[in-house]
Structures are given as C-alpha cells and as structure tokens.
Structure 1
Amino acid sequence: MALAVCAGAPARAHVSEGGLVLLLPTDIYIAAGVAVVAATVALLALLPARAVAALFRPRRLRPGRGSRARRMVTNWAAFAVLAALVWSGLAGPRDPLANLLPLVVWTVWWIMLVALQGLAGDLWSRIDPWRGPVAVARRLSGPPPLRLPARLGHAPAIAILLCFVGFLLADPAPTDPARLAVIVALYWLSSFAALVLFGARWRYRGEAVGVLMRSYGRLGVMRHGRVGLTGWQLAAGRVPPAGLALFMLLMLGSGSFDGLNETFWWFARMGWNPLEFPGRSAVIGQTLAGLAVANLVLVAGFALAVRAGLWLAGGGRFRRAFRALAPSVLPIALGYHLAHYLTSFLVDGQYVLVALNDPLATGADLLGMGETYVTTGFFNTPASVRMIWLSQAGAVVLGHVLAVLLAHAIALRELRDPRRAALSQAPLAAMMVLYTLFSLWLLASPRGI
C-alpha cells in the first residue's frame, strides 16, 4: 500500500472531494455550535456524578439469538462478494464511477458501513471476509504456528492505518478500478496469511480494518442485548492498551487532515493556486508530510491536555489517564466522518445504484431502473444547501458534546472524586471546544479538487 502511494499514475479526483463553496452565514452557525459544546462543559461542572453515570447506563433488552453458523454464512458471503468485486475491478469498466469495486470500497464500505458501525454497533464481525477462510485453514493446518511478539503491541495496525490513509489522500489514483483491485487483493491475502500464522492476536493488533471497525463499533448504541447512549460501551469498558489508544487518536487526526488537505488554506501553504492545481501526483510528499504533522500535533496536544488536567487535579498516573481518555475522541471522529462525507455519499450513492443496475456496462437493467441519471440538483438551491450544512454541523457538534460527556464519565470512573474529575477535564474540555471550532471551520471552508 505504501509503494502504491509512491507509484506514478494519471491523477484522478479524491473520492470525497467537491467544489461546493458555502455562501451561507456560517460564522453564525459556527459560533452557535461552539457555544453548545462550551455550555455542555459548564453544565457538567454542576451535574452530580450520579447523573453523569446514569447517562451512560445501558438498558437490557430481550437478548438476541445469535448463531455461529449463521454468522459463518454471512462471513463467507462477504468473502464471495469481495472476490466478485476484485474481479469487477480487473474486468469491469475502467470508469471509477461505473465500476462497482471503487464505488463499494469508498462509498458503501468507507462511508456508509463505517457510519453504521459507529451508530448502531458491531456489524463488521458479521461480514468480516477473513473469518470463513481462516476457519477452514485452521482446521487443515491446526493452531497458529507463530506467536506475535507482545512488545509490538498495536504497531502493525497503526502502520497499516497510516498507509491506508496515505493511499486515500496522496495516491494519484485511489479510485482506479484495476489499481484498487490489486491493492485490495494483496491486503486480503497478506492479512489472511498473518491470521493463519499468528491467530487471533493479529486480528486484534495487526489487521487495521478490523481494529478500526471494532473501535467504531464500541460507539454503537446496541451490544449483547443492551442499548444505551452512544459511548456507553466505552464508559463501562476496560482501559485500552497504549497502542490501541494511539490508534484511536490517529483515527481522529487522519480524518481531520482528510478535510484540511482539501481547503484553499492548505493549497496556499503548499504554494498552489487551487484553481490551477496540476494534480495529486505533484503534492504526494507534501500530503504525506502534512498527514504526519497533523497526527503528531493532535497526539501531542491531547497528551498535554491530559497532563495539565492531572496537575490541576493534584496528580495521577499519566499513562493510564492517556489510555483511559483516548476513546473519548471517537465520537468526534465519527461525527466528522459523517459530516465530511455526507455530500460525497449523496452523489456517489447514486452511482452505486446505477452500477448495480448494470455492473459490467453491457446495457443490462438488473434492477429495472431503466435509463437513470445522477443528479446534483440539491447543491443548487439555498434551502437544500442549508439543510446539508446544518446536518453536517449538527453531526460535528453532537460528536463533540458526546465526547465531552464521555471524557467526564471516564474521569469519574478513574478518579472516583467529582471535584478532581472536573478539574482534570478542564484542559481537555477546552481542547474539545477549540476542536469544535476547527471542525466547523473545515466544513465551511472553500475546497479545491
């Protein structure tokens, strides 16, 4: 995947980019959004600890009747679909907006499924395309012959995550069907080999897609017959290891840079006129450097906020506090993911339906849709653009509000003293208020192609 970023290829548009420039009074909306998050911080200082804990207390529903055999069927079905998509990428149309592989990878999986995973709960385990083949391989070969060194922690997953984001943001042609088919096939094969060789440890420490999906899945409202406020699983869960905590922070940092690197501001930093941009191949180095710096700044800022909070609270173990509070950024990451990709989903989701209707571009009409045209008319009227913007801003603000609530609940769980918990959260809460301003600015900023 890292090699693919450096390889030359014709430049194509990034899957999530667009040329929409908002003409709404966004300064008013941004100020209101920041005020909501700031008010949440102030309110938490007044709420009793029991009220905060009650927010994240789940309710038990009738337990579902899960079936391992049924899950194995869906896992094999997912593997078959993935194999068919790879074949489509190699043999289907060359147009990324007519080939199912890039549409499914970037629109159905990366936009829609990630969002559903974070909103509803763990869907990925039911459609994990490795579980079925790995189970068969285990029966044939026996237990894993190798042991993944514990000292590696989540380093393999972190490295793969950064390679994936680098490919998404810096590769000249991330939507090219044949190119993407090779990368998807190589990633599946290498992960399959690692799962057979190292067993479950690779699934939870090395296979970055699964680690990312499970992290978002812990935000879901439902799990094991219980339902609660988004984040209740994290509020009640165990403190993650250091590698996984860092992975979660990189999810937020990478998503934020995904938005930043499209703005006119970022083009100016690189010395390019966005209206005369020569293509992604001209800025691969700058994009990868920007991604690294953005993540370093976020991790350093988060660590500084945690350490300052412990100093205000009268002390505490920094490493444990850093690990415990890292999951609180996941609602922000999910909220920005929903907001950032909303416009892309509204357009590319239509292309998915068109491609399903005629997957090989042979004139078929499998869904009975007839001659269908993709529309972008909802970008042309003030009412619809205002609705889109308010939906995006609402997702960002709600994500930050949930993050503030979750961080406070975790601090209460760890410190067991309402006063110390409130003091420890002051710097982190201030950081989240500023991050709200930054995220809303990203959404409202003019973007290049």
Structure 2
Amino acid sequence: MSHTQPVFKRRKRMLFSVFAGVTTVGTAARAHTSEGGFVLLLPTDMYIASGVLAVALTVAMLVFLPDNEVRNLFRPLRLWRVQMQRLPNVTSLLSGVFLLWLVYIGLEGPRDPLANPMPLTIWTVWWVGLVFLQGFVGDIWRWINPWSGLVRVMRPLIGFQPVLRFPPQLGHAVGLASFLAFVAFLLADIAPSDPARLARAVLGYWVFHLIGGLLFGPRWMTRAEGISMVMRLYARLAPFGRRGSRRAIGLWGWQIAQNPALAFGLALLCLLILGSGSFDGVNETFWWLAQLGLNPLEFPGRSAVVWQTLGGLALSNLLLVVVFVATLWLGLKLGKISSVGLGQAFCLFAPTVLPIALGYHFAHYFTSFLVEAQYALIAATDPWAQGQDLLGLGQVYVTTGFFNTQESVRLLWLCQAGGVVVGHIVAVLLAHTVAVKHFGSGRAALLSQVPLAIFMICYTFFGLWLLASPRGF
C-alpha cells in the first residue's frame, strides 16, 4: 500500500488538471447556449472552439508536466487472479442460438424495421450499444461471441487439430476485408434495415465464419473475422482488462500503453475503424450530398448513390491512413528518432486513435439510440407485433420528449460534444505516453509528438463540425 497510494494520488491530481480545463471551457460555452435555439443550442463556433481549445490545452500541459506523471495515468491497479472459465463457452453457445432466432424472426416476422427485433438488435442494441460498452467497460464480446461456443462443441466431430492451415502470408487481410464488407453493407446497401435482407446477410456472414473457424481453428477468428478483431481492439481500450495473471483496471487505454505494438494488420484496422466511422458521419451531411450534386431536401434514395458511397468510404480511409503516416514520418524527423522505423511507429501509434473512434461512435449514435432503444424494448416484449407482452412490461410507448425542451436538448448536445472531446484528450495523453515509453523522456519524444498532436487537434475540429452539420437523410 505504501507504494500504490502515492501513485494514485499523483494520478488524481493529473486527472483533475486535465479535466479542469475541459470543465472551464465547457462552462464558457454553456453561457452562450440560449442563442443557439433547439437545433444547435451550443452555437457552432462556440462549442467547436471550446472543444478544440480543450484538446489544445491538454497538449500544452504535456509540455510542462513531467513524463512520469503522464505515464502514471496509464498504470493499472491489479485486482484478482484470472481463473479458467468455461462459462463463456456456454454464453457464446446461447448467443449463437439467439442469433439464429433473430434470423428466423427477421425472415418470418413483421416487415417494419421498427417492430422486428432483427434490425433493432443488430443495429441498435449491438452495433450502437454493445460496441460502445466493449470499449467503455471491458471485453463483453468474449461472452457473447456467437461462434466460439459452437466451434468448441463441433470440434470433436472433425478433430481437435485444424483441418487447414491459415496462410501466414495473408496476415490480417481477410479480417480487414471482412470489416470493410460489413461497413459497406451498413453504409451503401439499399436497405440494410430491411428485416429479411439483414437476416440473410447476417446468416451468410455467420455461416461463412463458422466454417472458417471449423476448418482453420482459432487463428481464423483472430485474423479473418473482422467483427471479432474490432471487438478485441476496443477491449484493449477498455478500463477493465488483464495484466499478467490478474484482472486489472485503469484509465481508458492503459492496455494499449502497457502492451507491445500491434501487428501491422491490426494497426491498420485501428485507422479503418476511425476512417469508416468518420465517413459514416460525412455521408449524411448536406456538404457531402452537395458534392454529389444532390438536393438534400429531394434525396432520391440510397440506391442512387451506392457507388458514390463506396468510393467515398474507400477515399476517406485512404486519406486518413496517408495523413496519419505523414504525421508519424514528420514526427520521427523532428525528434530525430532513428531507433524506431516508420512501420514500427505506425504499429505503436495507430491504436492511440481508438479513443477518438469510440468517442465519435458515442456522439454520432447517441440521440438515435435514445429513440430506437425504446422500439427495441417494445419489440423484445412483442416480437411478432401482435400485442403480446412477453416481458410483463405493460403498455410501452415511445417518447421523444427529450427533444422538445431547451434544457434537455442542450444536455444532449453537451454529452455528444463531450464524448468527442474526451476521446481526443485521452488519445493525446495515450500517444504521449507511448512516445515516452519507446522514444525516451525529454525533447526527442516531445518533438516527435508535435505533428500527431496537431493532427488530433484538427480532428477534434472535424469531429465537432460533423456533429454540427445539417443532415440530409
């Protein structure tokens, strides 16, 4: 205790210093919200400037704070010892059965996406809610992965050794393609929320990766199944994790700071998560529709922009990777770092963008989740839309009353903007910690972070601009 307590006291002082700047800036913004109206209660220029300034102040503090103080932020507290558990195999098996039930009800149930549990579970409960909790809390996916339990049950039927050897030269390429295919379906398919269409897509994806897991063994799920790869990356960001033989808890990102660099394919996936999430926001804005020559008030439908959406998704990810690599290259030159090459730097620093991706995931989907989660609750108690009450909840009504008052809308906007800003602040602190760990303390590590810090400040502006931009569909 004598060693641990001072570390956590210093950590509390550091956290207070960082977030005091955010609170001060946020208070200044709230003082001017009355002129923003119901749509933008925080005037666009005020809350964008406030968020960018909060991140810039964090960067400035790193110039004066001792490196050890920042590194101490990402030292976890060890908890209980890890014990082997078979329960995740059971819950995974149940998750697979539940997924097949969703597929059935997607094919045979009501056609309304807001009444059928299939799209509400996949897009609202899982993609919005559980993906966020995976990064915000801990590794939930380990318990609800719909493949691992069934693969474990079926493996004795085909032998415990993999039938085929996964080609090592592929690296994580299959997983990257799998993730991009998922995002392409989400953003570019003409009707991704149609229950039957979504059910067929989910069933095809599940069967494909089940066969892969059976033939190639566990390596398939770590190198070829894109969703599980994304979930494992977000689990590295979460405060609850594993340190040695014990469970541990720490600040978001401590597992990234403490663990070795990622493989190149996983590092690239970190950028693709951020780039795809960002384009998900850009894709809906008036600005993007104007680039396509479309009137946002007369949007012709998703079928008219399928190829433009796919092209925009590819271009956004490519542009982000190029800019990120350029900032790392310039940082290595400024810091005169010769011990770490550009490829290794990419694998070290790419995971530091995950807090930004998670913060924007929260901000982008927050308001829609508040509404659609209510529909999901109704669908859970009445999956066939026949007036049933399976959960015994009584009559449940959907409300959007939180959009009808000035105070509630102000609170929603502050939560969204706060998610973006806090994500960037954690990313800045995490990147600096990684630099100090691998480049050493002092001027070299600090200079190496200047381009990356500028990148993150600019991305703060971009993320808040996306929140403020009017949307066409």
Q: Secondary structure at the match of 1:129?
A: coil
C-alpha distance after superposition, 1:32-65 (max 9, x if no partner): 1100100111111111121111010001123465
2:145 corresponds to 1:128: yes
Query: Percent of pairs identical after alignment?
Result: 57
- Which residue identity lines up with residue 235 of structure 2 in the other structure? G
Pick from 269, 273, 277: which aligns with 1:251?
273
The higher relative CO (CA closer than 8 Å, separation ≥ 6) is in 1
Partner residue, 1:77: 94
Structure 1 position 133, deviation (Å): 1.2
- Which residue identity lines up with residue 257 of structure 2 in the other structure? A
Partner residue, 1:181: 199
2:457 corresponds to 1:440: no
Partner residue, 1:107: 124
Q: Secondary structure at the match of 1:61?
A: strand
Pick from 297, 316, 329: which aligns with 1:307?
329
Question: Which region of structure 1 is more displaced relative to structure 2, 369-378 or 406-415?
Answer: 369-378
- Which residue identity lines up with residue 194 of structure 2 in the other structure? D
Question: Which region of structure 1 is more displaced relative to structure 2, 373-382 or 101-110?
Answer: 373-382
Q: Any conservation in 2 of the 1:21–1:445 contact (CA below 8 Å)?
A: no
In 1, the alpha carbon distance for the partners of 2:83 and 2:333 equals 48
C-alpha distance after superposition, 1:376-396 (max 9, x if no partner): 121122111110000000000
- Which residue identity lines up with residue 113 of structure 2 in the other structure? P
Structure 1 position 105, deviation (Å): 0.2
Structure 1 position 342, deviation (Å): 0.1
Structure 1 position 369, deviation (Å): 2.9
Partner residue, 1:209: 227
- Which residue identity lines up with residue 165 of structure 2 in the other structure? R
In 2, the alpha carbon distance for the partners of 1:166 and 1:294 equals 13
C-alpha distance after superposition, 1:191-230 (max 9, x if no partner): 0111111112111110001001001111110113211000
2:135 corresponds to 1:118: yes
In 2, the alpha carbon distance for the partners of 1:200 and 1:419 equals 44
Partner residue, 2:7: none
Partner residue, 1:230: 252
Structure 1 position 373, deviation (Å): 2.1
- Which residue identity lines up with residue 354 of structure 2 in the other structure? L
Which segments of 5 or more consecutive residues in structure 2 lack a partner in the other structure?
1-37
Pick from 182, 190, 198: which aligns with 2:216?
198
Q: Any conservation in 2 of the 1:102–1:177 contact (CA below 8 Å)?
A: yes
- Which residue identity lines up with residue 293 of structure 1 in the other structure? L
Partner residue, 1:7: none
Q: Secondary structure at the match of 1:240?
A: coil
Partner residue, 1:393: 417
TM-score, normalised by the number of residues in structure 1: 0.94
Partner residue, 2:398: 374
The CA RMSD measured in Å over matched residues stands at 1.2
Structure 1 position 445, deviation (Å): 0.7
Question: Which region of structure 1 is more displaced relative to structure 2, 231-240 or 355-364?
Answer: 355-364
Which segments of 5 or more consecutive residues in structure 1 lack a partner in the other structure?
1-19
Structure 1 position 67, deviation (Å): 2.0
Instruction: Within 5 Å, give how 1:44-443 maps onto structure 2.
Output: 44-63=62-81, 65=83, 67-68=85-86, 70-142=87-159, 143-224=161-242, 225-316=247-338, 317-443=341-467
Q: Any conservation in 2 of the 1:22–1:446 contact (CA below 8 Å)?
A: no
- Which residue identity lines up with residue 111 of structure 1 in the other structure? V
Question: How many pairs were matched up?
Answer: 429
Pick from 20, 27, 37: which aligns with 2:45?
27
In 2, the alpha carbon distance for the partners of 1:188 and 1:266 equals 33
Q: Secondary structure at the match of 1:226?
A: strand
C-alpha distance after superposition, 1:279-329 (max 9, x if no partner): 000011111111111111100000000000000011331110011000000
- Which residue identity lines up with residue 81 of structure 1 in the other structure? F
